[in-house]
Amino acid sequence: MAGFDTNPFADPVDVNPFQDPSVTQITATSQGNIEEFNPFTESSRLKTVPVQPVMPSQPAVLQPSIEPSPQAVAMAAQAGLLQQQEELDRKAAEIERKEKEMRNVNINLRQNNWPPLPPNCPIKPCFYQDFSADIPADYQRTCKMLYYLWMFHGITLFLNLLACLAYFTSNTESGGVDFGLSILWFVLFTPCAFLCWFRPIYKAFRTDSSFNFFLFFLIFACQIVIYIIQAVGIPHWGDSGWIMALTMINTNVAVAVIMMVVATFFTVSAVFSLFMLKKVHSMYRRTGASFQRAQEEFSQGILSNRNVQNAATGAATAAARGAFQGN
């Protein structure tokens, strides 16, 4: 009943929440550990950092573009061409000097020894030929066989000249043409055969040159056709072939026999040439050579020729100067 004795209209009892024992205990324990904080004293301890002044940026200024005049461009191009020409001339002179040095070094090592002439002869050898030094061992036998074929070719032409001379002595009316042509064939075909098909095959075996192989095949095929024509012996062509020999049997047997021997020589030359052509062609295919490679070697040989280079450079320089002067 005590709860009914209280006066509800009386003033409420002042209650201080900070007087709560739990609050007072916490504040009492933490108060000793907290130091006084003075913001003014702490800020005074901080070091002042100097501030760098910011320079005002200047506006970008565009430089006006200056285009060179056409005359200046032409002069600069001409100066560049002249400089390149001087550089090419310098390199050409240096290459020529080195080649002369190499020739002077090797002049005693590779002196021309063919044809073999006596030392006191006014005519000196024109070529250097050494099968053991220049030709690989696999090709030496074939190259020597072609050399012997050329020698047999020269002997046959000389015998043909003698046969035509015998024919001319027995038939003075129409034998003069054959005798004159036989002299021409001997004088012309003997050195031409050496230069046109033997030397190319010699160089081809020595340097493995596709271009020289191709040149040999082309000229040697023509040589085989000529052998066949000479073996046939068409009258008034300067060849002591089978037709000419058979026509002389009833007139002069001795002359006919001589002409038959020459016709046999021409026939042997044609057959042996066909055999050698096939043999060289098989070796050519084994070396990996081709017509395209021959074209490349020919192009490189033309471009590396100093006369062609000088002519091309002079033409280009003259054309450039003419164009500049026209502008």
pLDDT digits (tens, 9 = 90+) for 146-164: 999 999 999 999 999 999 9
pLDDT band at 93 (very low <50, low <70, confident <90, very high): confident
Say what the pLDDT of residue 47 is: 47
Q: Mean of the pLDDT values across residues 6-31? A: 56
**CA-CA distance, 244 to 261, in Å (whole number)?**
12
Residue pLDDT, tens place only, 247-293: 999 889 999 999 999 999 999 999 999 999 999 999 888 776 555 66
Burial class (CB in 10 A: 0-12, 13-18, 19+), 273: buried
What is the DSSP code string of 186-248?
HHHHHHHHIIIIIHHHHHHHHHT-HHHHHHHHHHHHHHHHHHHHHHHT-TTTT---HHHHHHT
pTM: 0.61
More confident residue, 327 or 202: 202
- Residue 100 in tokens: 């002369």
Q: Is 112 left (phi over 0), alpha (psi -120 to 50) or beta?
A: beta
Structural contact between residues 194 and 205, judged by C-beta atoms closer than 8 angstroms: no
Q: Mean of the pLDDT values across residues 89-118? A: 78
pLDDT band at 44 (very low <50, low <70, confident <90, very high): very low
Phi and psi at residue 51, to the nearest 5°: -100, 125
Answer whether residue 48 shows pLDDT above 80. no
Burial class (CB in 10 A: 0-12, 13-18, 19+), 313: middle
Structural contact between residues 116 and 133, judged by C-beta atoms closer than 8 angstroms: no
Proportion of the chain above pLDDT 70, given as a percent = 65
Structural contact between residues 175 and 164, judged by C-beta atoms closer than 8 angstroms: yes
What is the DSSP code string of 113-166?
-BS---TT-SSPP-B---HHHHS-HHHHHHHHHHHHHHHHHHHHHHHHHHHHHH
How many alpha carbons lie under 13 Å from residue 259 in its C-beta half-sphere?
32
**CA-CA distance, 72 to 79, in Å (whole number)?**
10
Structural contact between residues 284 and 142, judged by C-beta atoms closer than 8 angstroms: no
- Those residues whose C-beta lies under 8 Å from the C-beta of residue 274, and which sit 6 or more positions away, are 224
